[in-house]
Amino acid sequence: MLKNKKIAIIFSIFAMLLWGSAIPTIKTTYLELGVGAGDTGQKILIAGIRFFMAGLITLIYFMIFDRSFKDFKKLDWKFVLILGFIQTSVQYLFYYIGLSNTFGVKSSIIQAANSFIVVIFSSLLLPEDKINSKMIMALIIGTIGIIITNTGKAFGGESMKISGEGFIIVSTSINALCTVLVRKYGKGLNGFLLTGVQFLVGSTVLIIVGSMASQTSLHFTMKACILLLYAAFISATAFSIWTIVLQTHSANEFGIYKLFVPLFGSILSVLILGESFTTRLAIGMILVLSASLILNLNKRRV
pLDDT in tens, 73-125: 777 888 889 989 998 999 999 988 888 888 877 787 787 777 777 777 877 78
Rounded to whole angstroms, what are the CA distances from 302 to 17, 131, 146, 242, 298? 28, 12, 26, 22, 6
Residue 157: its pLDDT value, please?
A: 44
What is the distance between the alpha carbons of residues 159 and 291, in angstroms, rounded to a whole number? 24
The predicted-structure confidence for 185-225, as pLDDT tens digits, reads as follows 777 777 788 889 999 999 999 999 988 888 777 888 999 99
In degrees, rounded to 5, the angle at the alpha carbon of residue 300 between the alpha carbons of residues 129 and 113 is 65
Nearest partner of 18 among 281, 223, 268, judged by Cα:
268
- Would you say 40 and 99 are in contact if contact means Cβ atoms under 8 Å apart? no
Which SS3 state, helix, strand or coil, does residue 118 take? helix
Residue 232: its pLDDT value, please?
A: 94
89: DSSP letter: I
For the entire predicted model, the pTM comes to: 0.81
What is the distance between the alpha carbons of residues 99 and 110, in angstroms, rounded to a whole number? 11
Mean pLDDT over the full length of the chain: 81
Would the pLDDT of 301 be above 60?
Answer: no
Nearest partner of 161 among 151, 175, 171, 173, judged by Cα:
151
- Would you say 285 and 142 are in contact if contact means Cβ atoms under 8 Å apart? no
User: Can you tell me the mean pLDDT for 281-295?
Assistant: 76
What is the distance between the alpha carbons of residues 108 and 285, in angstroms, rounded to a whole number? 9
Residue 179: its pLDDT value, please?
A: 79
Residue 298: its pLDDT value, please?
A: 62
Residue 251: its pLDDT value, please?
A: 57
Higher pLDDT, residue 245 or 2: 245
Residue 156: its pLDDT value, please?
A: 43
Q: Which residues of 32-64 are buried (b: 16+ CB within 10 A; e: fewer)?
A: bbebeeebbbbbbbbbbbbbbbbbbbbbebbee
User: Can you tell me the mean pLDDT for 237-241?
Assistant: 85
Fill in the amino acid letter for 235.
Answer: S
- Would you say 236 and 50 are in contact if contact means Cβ atoms under 8 Å apart? no
Residue 91: its pLDDT value, please?
A: 92
- Would you say 23 and 269 are in contact if contact means Cβ atoms under 8 Å apart? yes
Would the pLDDT of 130 be above 80?
Answer: no
The predicted-structure confidence for 30-49, as pLDDT tens digits, reads as follows 888 888 777 888 889 999 99
Would the pLDDT of 154 be above 50?
Answer: no
